Amino acid sequence: MRAKEMVFLNRLGGVIRRSNFANRNWKPRLRRLGLTVCGFHTARHTAASIALSNGLPVTKAAAWLGDRVDTLLRTYAHWIDQDHSEAANMMQQFYEKKSD
């Protein structure tokens, strides 16, 4: 990519090299924070997994990550709440009202 197509540039106005950014900024900051050093993709995946497992709606997560909903579901479906008790309770209440 050319520098004019980039959002962030280095001090000289050129393209930031991924390895330079990782070694000079990303990894040292993770170490300073006491976090496990990982790559950008791993950090993105972790953030998405935490958000989804804590109830962030799929549509909001997809928009936040810049993904389509179907892409997000293929990748992260296992992190979405698997507790179906609320749906079961609703069906039970419906059934009980019908039989009254």
Q: What is the pLDDT of residue 74?
A: 87
Pairwise CA distance, residues 43 & 65, whole Å: 12
Pairwise CA distance, residues 15 & 36, whole Å: 27
Q: Which residues of the chain have pLDDT under 50?
A: none
Residue 16 exposed, middle or buried by CB count within 10 Å (0-12, 13-18, 19+): middle
Q: What is the pLDDT of residue 65?
A: 92
End-to-end CA distance of the chain: 68
Q: What is the pLDDT of residue 68?
A: 92
Tens-digit pLDDT profile for residues 39-62: 988 998 888 888 888 888 889 999
